[in-house]
């Protein structure tokens, strides 16, 4: 069952804060700036971005500050991951930290703590940019208080963002080529949405609660709510795969599928979209990849949403929905805002 993240986070303990990040994002980040915002004494947005080149530092800092302010952040902490130096005297990426402080002062959001760590691994040294004597060693992320709590909830984290992306690795080329021929032979025939509902029955799991019920957070590249990876999925026969691929070209059927993400069948839908993203050839896989992105986005899994959108755009460059969802991620539309858009579109 999808669960919201416990808002308790050790913000005054740099080591525990660093150790918590892989669980917050769902993977171990490298060469990243991670920003955690606080709203009403709880966790707000968790934003991750690649460390920017020098010419983009000010722009990135201003963008993060503007996003945080627009969503009511009251304070923030930041962790810089990557680089080398001679701590505590010489820490890397100080110019970026300077720009971050400037940008957040401009929007009047205090950044209480800015920490640097070369990697998020047990025993490595972390240091604070704010105070020379502030530092320590990173505890084991898997045995940290937050890590244990999230593992008990069934949370999953990956060794890297690439490992997360690998969960959508397509089927072998020869298999996809065979399916492409079958789909092309079926062109002009659009099965109705009942084929989707029948497939959902096969991928059904324990009914879930409303996936948006507990949070309303910014999604950039975050992993606020976790779900087990879609492994050991049921298998569909070739005829059913072809029916689903052709059905998803129908506008009404796609609208029906998007709304599945706000129903108790959301988990079954996400499993089905994951399976189809792997099983269908390009450009057909773009449709289930977008549906997977919608589902992941609505439950706060921005990391998976962005990976799925990358797949969609690689399969079908210029895909309209994939482009719109990517813009929504970049602009930090909240899951609740997206949910409301989908519901209004469904009522139209």
Instruction: Identify whether 20 is part of a domain.
Output: yes
| Cβ(290)–Cβ(257) below 8 Å | no
Q: Do 148 and 174 have their domain in common?
A: no
Which of 108, 135, 152 is the C-terminal boundary of a domain?
Answer: 152
Q: Do 213 and 119 have their domain in common?
A: no
Q: Do 146 and 166 have their domain in common?
A: no
- At residue 313, the 3 state secondary structure works out as helix
Provide the domain count of the chain: 2
Q: Do 118 and 239 have their domain in common?
A: no
Instruction: Identify whether 138 is part of a domain.
Output: yes
Q: Distance from first CA to last CA of the chain, Å, rounded?
A: 30
Which of 100, 120, 152 is the C-terminal boundary of a domain?
Answer: 152
CATH number of the domain enclosing 136: 3.40.140
Token pair belonging to 251: 């506008």
Phi, psi of 213, rounded to the nearest 5 degrees: -65, -30
Tens of pLDDT along the chain (348 residues)?
A: 222 344 456 667 888 889 988 888 878 899 999 999 888 877 777 888 999 999 999 999 999 999 889 878 899 999 999 998 777 678 999 999 999 999 999 999 999 999 999 999 999 999 999 887 789 999 988 777 666 665 555 556 677 788 888 889 999 999 999 999 999 998 777 777 789 999 999 998 654 444 333 333 333 433 333 444 455 788 999 999 999 999 999 999 999 999 999 888 888 999 999 999 999 999 999 999 999 999 988 887 788 899 999 999 999 999 999 999 998 888 778 788 888 888 887 665
pTM: 0.74
Q: Do 114 and 226 have their domain in common?
A: no
Q: What one-character-per-residue DSSP string does 13-39 give?
A: -HHHHHHHHHHHHSB---SEEEEEEEE
Instruction: Identify whether 72 is part of a domain.
Output: yes
107: exposed, middle or buried (C-beta count within 10 Å: 0-12, 13-18, 19+)?
Answer: middle
Q: How far apart are CA 194 and CA 198, in angstroms?
A: 6
Q: Do 268 and 307 have their domain in common?
A: yes
Q: Do 148 and 184 have their domain in common?
A: no
Q: How high is the pLDDT of residue 159? A: 75
Q: Do 262 and 139 have their domain in common?
A: no
Instruction: Identify whether 146 is part of a domain.
Output: yes
Q: Do 115 and 249 have their domain in common?
A: no
Instruction: Identify whether 25 is part of a domain.
Output: yes
Q: Do 142 and 172 have their domain in common?
A: no
Q: How far apart are CA 303 and CA 309, in angstroms?
A: 10
Domain span holding position 316: 161-347
Instruction: Identify whether 1 is part of a domain.
Output: no
Instruction: Identify whether 317 is part of a domain.
Output: yes
Instruction: Identify whether 297 is part of a domain.
Output: yes
Q: Do 190 and 100 have their domain in common?
A: no
144, containing H or E segment: none
Q: Do 29 and 168 have their domain in common?
A: no
Which of 152, 187, 216 is the C-terminal boundary of a domain?
Answer: 152
């Amino acid at each position: 069952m999808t669960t919201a993240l416990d808002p308790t986070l050790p913000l005054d303990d740099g080591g525990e804060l660093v150790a918590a990040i892989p669980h917050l994002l769902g993977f171990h980040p490298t060469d990243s700036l991670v920003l955690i915002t606080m709203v009403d004494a709880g966790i707000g947005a968790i934003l991750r971005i690649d460390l920017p080149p020098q010419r983009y530092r000010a722009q990135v800092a201003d963008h993060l500050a503007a996003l945080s302010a627009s969503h009511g952040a009251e304070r923030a902490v930041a962790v810089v991951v990557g680089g080398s130096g001679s701590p505590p005297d010489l820490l890397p990426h100080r110019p970026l930290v300077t720009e971050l402080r400037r940008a957040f002062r401009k929007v009047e959001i205090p950044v209480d703590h800015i920490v640097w760590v070369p990697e998020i691994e047990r025993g490595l040294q972390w240091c604070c940019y704010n105070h020379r004597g502030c530092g320590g060693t990173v505890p084991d992320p898997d045995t940290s208080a937050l890590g244990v709590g999230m593992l008990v909830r069934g949370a999953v984290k990956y060794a890297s963002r690439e490992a997360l992306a690998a969960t959508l690795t397509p089927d072998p080329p020869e298999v996809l080529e065979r399916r492409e021929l079958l789909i092309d032979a079926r062109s002009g025939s659009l099965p109705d949405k009942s084929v989707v509902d029948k497939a959902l029955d096969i991928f059904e799991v324990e009914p879930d609660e409303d996936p948006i019920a507990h949070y309303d957070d910014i999604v950039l590249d975050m992993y606020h709510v976790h779900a087990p990876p879609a492994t050991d999925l049921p298998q569909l026969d070739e005829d059913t795969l072809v029916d689903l691929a052709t059905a998803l070209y129908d506008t009404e059927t796609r609208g029906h599928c998007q709304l599945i993400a706000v129903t108790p069948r959301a988990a079954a839908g996400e499993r089905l979209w994951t399976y189809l993203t792997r099983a269908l050839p390009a450009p057909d896989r773009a449709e289930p990849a977008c549906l997977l992105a919608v589902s992941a986005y609505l439950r706060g899994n921005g990391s998976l949403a962005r990976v799925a959108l990358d797949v969609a755009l690689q399969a079908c460059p210029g895909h309209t929905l994939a482009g719109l969802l990517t813009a929504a991620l970049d602009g930090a539309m909240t899951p609740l805002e997206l949910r409301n858009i989908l519901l209004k579109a469904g009522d139209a």
